[in-house]
Amino acid sequence: MPVQLQESSIEEASAQFWEQMLSMKLYPMSTHDFYLGSGHLLGSVSLTGAWSGRVEIRMDERLSREATAAMLMQATEDVTEADALDAAKEITNMLAGVIKSSLPRPSAMTVPEARVVNECYCSAMRNLHSVAVAFRHDSGEMIVSVLMQGGTGDPAGKDSSRSC
């Protein structure tokens, strides 16, 4: 069964969180040839139940620091890597929770994880087993991907990035 989720659901979930919680406006952009360099943050949660898969949020370092500073109400230069990882987990949890409501039910969501990725990331185009929406902000770029278990990109819960 293919992912039955529209890009608009991801756009709405992202706008709701970024604008209401962080007072930051993100603009959708093309996922074609989307690229993040080494050092970007990856937040992820797994979903199991009527729909099984994974939601990933990837942000470049500048955007993650800006978002973290907004969440913690502190200066960007005071943001530590640990702060940014905690913020990435929270952003992932909030966005995945909203996205989950658009997927078949019932389903359970794992505790979010986050890490700094030391490889580059090139997005995959939408197919029957995934959907992704990329965003830009003056501080950087991010991508939100919903990956169906057993589909292209994340068949065994592994990192969905591919060689650039």
Which CATH number characterizes residue 35's domain? 3.40.1550.10
Number of domains in the chain: 1
Look up the pTM and report it: 0.88
Please indicate, yes or no, if residue 1 is contained in any of the structural domains.
no
Which value, to the nearest 10 degrees, does the dihedral of the CA atoms of residues 77, 71, 114, 83 take?
40
How does pLDDT run across 140-154, given as a tens digit for each residue?
A: 999 999 998 865 443
User: Low-confidence residues of the chain, pLDDT below 50?
Assistant: 125, 152-161
Please indicate, yes or no, if residue 108 is contained in any of the structural domains.
yes
Separation of CA 64 from chain center: 11
Please indicate, yes or no, if residue 66 is contained in any of the structural domains.
yes
- Residue 132's domain comprises 7-148
In terms of Cβ atoms closer than 10 Å to its own Cβ (0-12, 13-18, 19+), residue 10 is buried
Please indicate, yes or no, if residue 26 is contained in any of the structural domains.
yes
Please indicate, yes or no, if residue 161 is contained in any of the structural domains.
no
pLDDT, position 33: 78
d(CA 126, CA 147): 10
Please indicate, yes or no, if residue 23 is contained in any of the structural domains.
yes
Please indicate, yes or no, if residue 162 is contained in any of the structural domains.
no
Cβ-Cβ contacts under 8 Å for 10 (sequence gap 6 or more): 99, 131, 132, 133, 144, 146
How does pLDDT run across 34-52, given as a tens digit for each residue?
A: 999 999 999 999 999 998 9
Please indicate, yes or no, if residue 70 is contained in any of the structural domains.
yes
d(CA 71, CA 101): 24
